[in-house]
């Protein structure tokens, strides 16, 4: 994945392939508006809800990128197969170990993608030594560790 702007502005925290499992034959679904405590008067499309604008856009060295959104797209592609299988099955379904693992991974990704869990994510992973070993910021030209001020960004 390149660090360049290929972004669409709508970054769905509930993937559209998942939302499509709740639609009618015209690809629409009902939305309950929690604030007004009522169902919206018209049916909606999955692309119109459960997103934040540029949620997964990051900026580094004055360059914007949706590399995180691109990563989610690849992950969603992997998960969509098992979700589609479940959504299209009317009878009980028996999942093998690989499918069960994919389903568990999908649920975990959904949990951490929800905006309501952002603070929890920061608290949970900010000082986690495993997280620090997995991700490392380096200067692309020199290969040296990025300065602390860049890491904080």
Instruction: Indicate the pTM of the whole model.
Output: 0.75
> For 4-51, how does the pLDDT look when each residue is reduced to its tens digit (9 = 90+)?
445 578 999 999 999 999 999 999 999 999 999 999 999 999 999 999
Higher pLDDT, 147 or 48: 48
pLDDT value at 75 more than 80: yes
Place of tokens 């997280």: 131
What would the two tokens of residue 123 be?
Answer: 């608290």
Residue 118: other Cβ atoms inside 10 A:
13
User: 127 or 58: whose pLDDT is higher?
Assistant: 58
Residue 1 and residue 71 in contact, taking contact as beta carbons nearer than 8 Å? yes
Which tokens sit at 112?
Answer: 């951490």
């Amino acid at each position: 994945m390149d660090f360049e702007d290929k972004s669409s502005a709508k970054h769905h925290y509930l993937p559209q392939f998942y939302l499509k499992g709740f639609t009618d034959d015209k690809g629409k679904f009902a939305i309950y508006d929690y604030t007004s405590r009522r169902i919206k008067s018209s049916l909606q499309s999955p692309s119109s809800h459960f997103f934040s604008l540029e949620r997964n856009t990051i900026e580094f060295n004055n360059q914007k990128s949706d590399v995180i959104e691109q990563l989610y797209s690849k992950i969603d592609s992997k998960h969509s197969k098992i979700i589609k299988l479940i959504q299209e099955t009317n009878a009980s379904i028996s999942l093998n170990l690989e499918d069960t693992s994919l389903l568990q991974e999908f649920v975990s990704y959904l949990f951490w993608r929800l905006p309501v869990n952002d603070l929890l994510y920061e608290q949970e992973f900010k000082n986690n030594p495993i997280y620090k070993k997995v991700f490392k910021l380096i200067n692309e030209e020199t290969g040296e560790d990025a300065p602390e001020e860049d890491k904080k960004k």
